[in-house]
Structure 1
Amino acid sequence: MRSIRESGAISNLKLRASWGRIGNENVDPYLWQEVVNTWGWTMRVPNPDFTWEKQNQWNLGLDLAMLKNRFTVTADVYKKHSYDLIYSDFPVPPLTGSYYLTSSVNIGEVENKGWEISAKWSDRINDFSYSIGGMVFDNKNQVLKAGYNTTDTLIFKGTNDRIWYRGIPINNYYGFETDGYFQNQAEIDATNAKFPNTLPGDIRYIDQNGDGILNDEDRVFLGDPAPHYNYSITLDMRYKNWDFSMLGQGVGKRVGRLGGQEGYPVYVDGGSNNLGAPRQYYANNRWTPETPNSRFPRVWTGSSTNTYLSDVWLSDASFFRIKSLQLGYTIPKVSNNIRNLRIYFNAQDFLTFTNWEGLEPERDGGNGAYPRMATYSVGFQVTLF
């Protein structure tokens, strides 16, 4: 081993291991207390057994440097078990005299497993020096317990589109699978499993259990909203007085939900959600009798069953983006008082490759959610004396 180190083949080798147990203190410190409104009504029932969330985690790591530190690698794997997770809106049994009372309880358990690896190569050839690096990591989680019993299912209050279910990732999309759109009234009349007031161009939902009724029993797990295979690439080069740097970043796999104006783009001036006219992309891809195989359902106003969460409103949100690019030139010894002058051009978020159908793949769309703007700038730096 000593001869290998002295030869420069391996200049650094470190193995790391750790284990720990911590509590999550980043929660409301008063969740355990009773809440009474200004009319004297109890809004939240106190829980004397309430406690903070806890986590057990182990980590294994490797640090390696080779070839006189020109090539470096860092790798980590970990596993985290979180338990006594807090649910602050757990419904209290009606025997208390109210259907609206809630309490804060510790009922959840989640397991996270992940890995990360990064590598970098640096070298110099006469006046030319460069380095190229990359990093990729992923985390997978699954619910171990979503209630007091391992078979319980937790559906978040106020929405049934997010669900905790044993063996499934946290907040997995929970909705309907679809089978295209109803093309005419004859198709609608011949179908038992449909919602009231269905019209041609509306979404045809799949009756999973075949009972002729569409309800929550026909909902299925549609996809994991968490990003997977996150990665980045860096490149730095220098030749004499020129310098260049680039940072690219992306996500290899993510299921995104088209929400707000992006989610219901054909909801024209309807009901209390005045979303206005759809974007041109949606207008060009909406259902009409002349375009029966379009991407989106018909244009509608008012309430519509088309707004239920389904695979229609999910889209591939993987992407690769050039986060920053900079090219500079340094003029040395400008004068006795100016050591050097560097002029540079910088561009940020100016190029994205994605199949995402909304505006911003890093964020599910919605009303008022702006996409990232490309930024271009030219500047100079002066070093005195």
Structure 2
Amino acid sequence: TIPVYQKDGSTFAGESGAGYSDRNNPLHMQYLSRWNNATRLTTFGNVFVEIQPIKNLFFRSSIGADNANFLRKVISPTFSEGALSRTTNSLLYDQNHFLSMTFSNTLRYNWTLHTDHRFNFLVGTEYVKTDLDFQTTRKEGFALQTREYFTLNAATGNTNVTGGSTGNRLFSQFGRVDYNFADRYLLAVTVRRDGSSRFGANNQYGIFPAASIGWRIDKEAFMQNNPIFSELKLRAGIGRVGNQQIGDLARFGLFDTRYGTTLSQLVGGFWEQYMNIGTAYSLNGSNTGTLPSGFVQIQAANPDLKWETTDEINTGIDFSILQNKIFGSFDYFSRKTTGILITPPVASALGEGQSKAVNGASKSNKGWELVLGYRGDRVGQLRYNVQLNLAHFRDKITELPENVRPAYPGNLVNTIIGRSQFDIFGYKTDGLFQSQDEVAKAATQIGAGPGRIRYVDINDDNVINDLDRTWIGTTLPALEYGLRVDLNYKNFDVSLFGSGVAGREGFDVYTIFNNLMRSRENVGPGVFNAWTPQNTDTRIPALTLKDNNNEGRPSDYFIVNTSYFKMRNIQLGYNLTPKAVFSRLRIFAMGENLFWFKNKSYQSPDPERIDLDPVPIPKTFTLGVNATF
């Protein structure tokens, strides 16, 4: 435990010697950051013009912009805190400018033939331009440690400036035809041609057609005056969509200058330089003065990069019964995705700059979505509505080219082909070793010993190694669901919305921090129940400062049920009696992310977060007024 202040209260306290890597006094770190600030200014808008040159023909042109400017200022003063210190102060400015503009033009024509035949025709183009400029400036050496003195021109030490820019362009041409016969039979056909600057000239454009049909059964003569169905509609669709979500420069070969760059590693709690990867080179061999910089390749070009495509077939039904009291819909879909965009890891033996973006795996998805709702009868002055949403889907990797295998879990023995991309790959465990005799009788396992995790020899070769990894769970939930309830009583209204997942597994990364002993870091309360010869009825390994058993490896030791239900929104409102100025006046209070229910053994502070982000999704409370004039 580190005391907050020195005994005399003169300054913040710190550790007296080398030790934990997270040993900084947190209150002192907060105090040192008191002058830091960040500002973001965002402006956006859209203007359009629509004209009707002739009857039923409409031309619309619109332009929209989204502009954001970000500036972050970080002041790092010198300090001394026990064994820790910062001897050089610095000022950092981090800024970027983002601008996205969208220019759209459409021509729409409506045509009715003999009353029952209605057509809508639409053609158009859209151009999207996105740019991002960024720069970071860091200067060292300030004579005074006052907030006002930390300006760039007051620095006398080292200066480091980095920056760059990126952007992309998307141009689309599209057309759509809608046909409606007597409000009973519906047909829609769409074709898009999208071109992206993220792909090479040979594959820059993709064509994405789609079609859908619908049948309003409730409009048929034989359904008139039906006592059960108020609405009944069947629908189906087929189509293709494209995905261009890859880096703006993914198709290019990239080179970088790394003048004087060195790599560092953490040794004994301190960063030490161990390799110079700089590109500076002395042409005359003197190695003095300002040296010219060479270039190093950081990415290989791929001129054949193209659109990732997904083909989908879907069917559905919309219905309401008992005079619209009960309503709902059901959808079933089947998707096949090919040419998934990915930048797979590359073996170091291939040398620098061989990493490149490719069109890799293929996968299929199948699933369904169900919506059920009830519009309740008025009970006195109480009105209520309830709606339930359910969804389920499963995916499967169907093709995995050799060059992208390292980007997916699995190995040559247990391939992911035929499995979900959300499946978890790792070791199975079988409790803890209880004695040296158990260790001797088990498969050879480096680091094994009493109180250590025992791993299962999957392939029965009497050795625990990478070939014993297998599939140990899935982060894909069996069911996703949501529930909404709306209540109205006199002038009061209440709405509640919650959602969650069921049948989901995942790594509880907080088990590592709470149950495993680690050198030079704080540990959680779980270590108080660690294995000892006198405390064998536990799943927490024996304490050790050196993890020779590699117990942090992916294994089912960390797999838990991560299902949850979260109350996402509760709102209470009151409608005031409108005055002459207002046609409606309502005050309300709202809370978001208020509480949740989860498996007790799941230690994450927020069940929605299954990563190591220490910041949970915040609870928010809002008071507001809705006024209509």
**TM bracket, shorter-chain basis:** 0.7 to 0.9
1:223 equivalent to 2:450? Answer no
- Cα contact 1:176–1:220 (8 A) shared by 2: yes
Q: What is aligned with 2:385? A: 131
1:20 equivalent to 2:231? Answer no
Write out per-residue CA displacement over residues 208-248 of structure 1, whole angstroms, 9 at most, x where no aligned residue.
11112111110001111123311001111112123222112
1:110 deviates by: 0.6
Write out per-residue CA displacement over residues 6-54 of structure 1, whole angstroms, 9 at most, x where no aligned residue.
3563222222211112221122243232233324333333334332212
- Cα contact 1:15–1:63 (8 A) shared by 2: yes
> How many equivalent residue pairs?
368
Show structure 2 runs of 5+ residues with no match. 1-219, 258-278, 280-294
Q: What is aligned with 2:596? A: 352
Which range moved further: 35-44 or 352-361?
A: 35-44
1:123 deviates by: 2.8
CA–CA separation in structure 2 for the residues paired with 1:262 and 1:124: 49
CA–CA separation in structure 2 for the residues paired with 1:32 and 1:116: 37
Moved runs in structure 1, 4+ residues, more than 4 A?
335-345, 373-377, 382-385
Amino acid at match of 1:232: G
Q: What is aligned with 1:254? A: 504
SS class of match (1:188): helix
What value does the CA root-mean-square deviation take over the aligned residues?
A: 3.0
Q: What is aligned with 2:309? A: 54
Amino acid at match of 1:332: T
Q: What is aligned with 2:366? A: 113
Q: What is aligned with 1:307? A: 552
- Cα contact 1:164–1:170 (8 A) shared by 2: no
Q: What is aligned with 1:203? A: 453
1:79 deviates by: 0.8
Task: Select 1:369's aligned residue among 588, 602, 614.
Answer: 614
After superposition, the Cα gap between the structure-2 partners of 1:315 and 1:212, relative to the gap in structure 1 and judged at 3 Å, is same
Which range moved further: 29-38 or 216-225?
A: 29-38
Identity of matched residues, %: 24
Show structure 1 runs of 5+ residues with no match. none
1:183 equivalent to 2:437? Answer no
1:102 equivalent to 2:321? Answer no
Task: Select 1:266's aligned residue among 515, 536, 539.
Answer: 515
Amino acid at match of 2:543: V
1:91 equivalent to 2:346? Answer yes
With the length of structure 2 as denominator, give the TM-score of the two structures.
Answer: 0.53
1:311 deviates by: 0.3
CA–CA separation in structure 2 for the residues paired with 1:286 and 1:49: 55
CA–CA separation in structure 2 for the residues paired with 1:246 and 1:65: 23
CA–CA separation in structure 1 for the residues paired with 2:250 and 2:624: 53
CA–CA separation in structure 1 for the residues paired with 2:358 and 2:494: 54
CA–CA separation in structure 2 for the residues paired with 1:371 and 1:130: 33
After superposition, the Cα gap between the structure-2 partners of 1:285 and 1:100, relative to the gap in structure 1 and judged at 3 Å, is farther
After superposition, the Cα gap between the structure-2 partners of 1:345 and 1:23, relative to the gap in structure 1 and judged at 3 Å, is closer
- Cα contact 1:322–1:351 (8 A) shared by 2: yes
CA–CA separation in structure 1 for the residues paired with 2:493 and 2:425: 49
1:73 deviates by: 0.9
- Cα contact 1:155–1:164 (8 A) shared by 2: no
CA–CA separation in structure 1 for the residues paired with 2:243 and 2:302: 18
Which range moved further: 341-350 or 134-143?
A: 341-350
Amino acid at match of 1:265: N
User: Of the two structures, which has the highest relative contact order with CA contacts closer than 8 Å and spacing of 6 or more?
Assistant: 1
CA–CA separation in structure 1 for the residues paired with 2:584 and 2:352: 73
1:73 equivalent to 2:328? Answer yes
With the length of structure 1 as denominator, give the TM-score of the two structures.
Answer: 0.84
Amino acid at match of 1:381: V
